[in-house]
Structure 1
Amino acid sequence: MYTFVQKFHSGWAYLALLLLVFAVVNSFLGKSSKREFTAKDRRIALFGLIATHIQLVVGLILYFVSPLGSASIGQMAESDVRLTWLEHPLINIIAIILITVGWSKHKKAATSEAKFNSIFIFYGLGLLLILSRIPWKLWF
């Protein structure tokens, strides 16, 4: 089970990042061109939100079923272990909270510009945080 969850978490990350980048770029283009916020724009942001939440749930499952967890606690001084077991989960939870806040703020916004702006800012910050804490050595 651990191997399946680990591979799913790694594979789903590509889709989640792609959808998140697409949502950020779409909101930037919508904001800069001053177009109306449509149902298509809403769906793009929603798919980014859903993909990141699925990634979070799978990541939390992986974190708690991993056979490496208890052995790694004493090795937090090593940067790779600290990244994998502390920084990656913590920063990504914060990033997904920001993405969720962006989704909530866009729903309350009255104008298209405000909707695009909240998605661009909060999803963009979330994307930057996620990219900063990906364990790149394990990914490639």
Structure 2
Amino acid sequence: MYETVQFIHSWWAYLVLIMLLIASFNAIIGFAANKEYSATNFRIALFTLIVSHIQFLIGIILYFAAPYFKMWAEEGMGGVMADSTLRLYNVEHPLMMLIAIALITIGYSKHKKKLTSRPKFKMLAIFYGIALVVVLSRIPWAAWL
């Protein structure tokens, strides 16, 4: 089961990263060019929200199924925090991805409350852009590529 969930989590991450890049740049361009917010922009933001939440749910399943999770019981907090690999997989990656999901969700919710195009794009650009930086900072690149 672990290998299957890990495979899905790894490949779905490409979709999340692509959508987050598209949504962030779409919002930045829309804001900078003072474009009208359209149904296509809404769909891009919504699809990014959906795929990122699905990825997070897959990640939660993977977290508890992974062999790294068992290290909490074997090594304890001090052992996990002392080992950079265990710390990445057990603490840093899950925490930062949770923060990224929260940023995406907050940005999406805030942008819906705005009445005009420029503030909508601004909210999406800020929150999705920060979420993109957070995601890129904690991807385990050595294991992923």
* 1:4 to partner: Cα distance: 0.5
Corresponding residue of 1:15? 15
Q: What is the root-mean-square deviation of aligned Cα atoms in Å?
A: 1.1
For normalisation by structure 1, the TM-score amounts to 0.96
The residue aligned with 1:109 is 114
Stretches of 4+ aligned residues off by more than 6 angstroms: none
> Structure 2 residue aligned with 1:84, among 81, 89, 97?
89
Structure 2 equivalent of residue 97 of structure 1: 102
Q: Name 1:131's counterpart in structure 2.
A: 136
Partner of 1:15: helix, strand, or coil?
A: helix
Report SS of the residue matched to 2:70: helix
Give the superposition deviation at 1:68. Answer: 3.3
Q: Separation in 1 of the partners of 2:5 and 2:42? A: 30
Task: Please report the TM-score for the alignment, with normalisation by the length of structure 2.
Answer: 0.93
In 1: Cα distance, 2:47 partner to 2:7 partner: 21
Residues 40-59 of structure 1: matches in 2 within 5 Å? 40-59=40-59
Query: Structure 1 residue 55: deviation in Å?
Result: 0.6
Note the C-alpha offset of 1:69. Answer: 1.3
Match of 1:120 in 2: 125
* Structure-1 residue corresponding to 2:26: 26
3-state DSSP of counterpart to 1:69: coil
Alignment partners' CA distance in 1, 2:131 and 2:35: 24
Alignment-derived partner of residue 39 in structure 2: 39
Deviation (angstroms), 1:72:
5.2
Identity of aligned residues (%): 49
Unaligned runs of 5+ in 2: none
Structure 2 contact 37–117 (Cα < 8 Å) conserved: yes
